[in-house]
Amino acid sequence: MADLSAFPITKKWPARHPDRIQLYSLPTPNGVKISIALEELGLPYEPHRVAFDSNDQTSPEFLSLNPNNKIPAIIDPQGPGGKPLALFESGAILVYLAEKSGKLIPQDAAGRYHALQWVMFQMGGIGPMFGQLGFFHKFAGKDWEDKRPRDRYASEAKRLLGVLDKHLQGKQWVLGDAYSIADIAIFPWVRNLVGFYGAADLVGFAEFKQVQRVLDAFVQRPAVIRGLDIPPKPAG
């Protein structure tokens, strides 16, 4: 049985199954990337809920794993060389899990780099821009009379959707016929933009037929349905 006692985070979130990948997360767009990937890959894991309402993400135990105080983060007890590996940043974790399993990423070098470019597209563009738009459209931004910040992010979100929509023409998934970590990176954020953030009309989402088509296929996958609710809300 793996010994994870060297990781302070396990004091706050004890591992009942220390031989499994330990996932510290919450069902946000970045968080569900990893739960979906783990469900798709069938890798054994144990989820731990990092509750923002009690500031778990700023606790010393969590910061010992991710000094940037963001979810998700993992500990893999069977990392490279059979040694435990701790990782944060959802994009890095996606790549790691895909390469560990040999799935959800092309095995040829060119295909691998194409997958990585779309993961980076999400991390550098879609995530930050959609997130800022959500802030100004749904949350504190409503207190600003000046709508230029909101409109700036809405314009950039619309541009990014246009890039994705054009790319998806004639393709089943981002990389073509093969479902991959590129889809897992991108579509939780698209779902959040038009769902939780309620920004579909603001960005003209009805114009992006290809994005709609692939989003619809994505959210119907059984592993995605399961992963979107992990870690689950506490009972009661």
- Per-residue pLDDT tens digits for 94-143: 999 999 999 999 999 999 999 999 999 999 999 999 999 999 999 877 67
Residue 19: per-residue pLDDT: 97
Question: Domain 9-103 adopts which CATH fold?
Answer: Glutaredoxin (3.40.30)
Cβ within 8 Å of residue 21, ≥6 positions away: 38, 43, 44, 45, 46, 74, 75, 76, 77
Structure tokens at 52: 């923002």
* Architecture category of domain 109-223 in CATH: Up-down Bundle (1.20)
3-state secondary structure of 198: coil
CA dist 170 and 161 (Å) reads 16
| pLDDT tier at 229, thresholds 50, 70, 90 | very high
Which segments of the chain belong to CATH 3.40.30.10? 9-103
| pLDDT tier at 8, thresholds 50, 70, 90 | very high
Decide if pLDDT at 165 tops 70.
Answer: yes
Mean pLDDT of 170-179: 98
Report the chain's mean pLDDT, rounded to a whole number. Answer: 96
Give this prediction's pTM: 0.96
User: Which H or E run includes 211?
Assistant: helix 209-219
Which segments of the chain belong to CATH 1.20.1050.10? 109-223
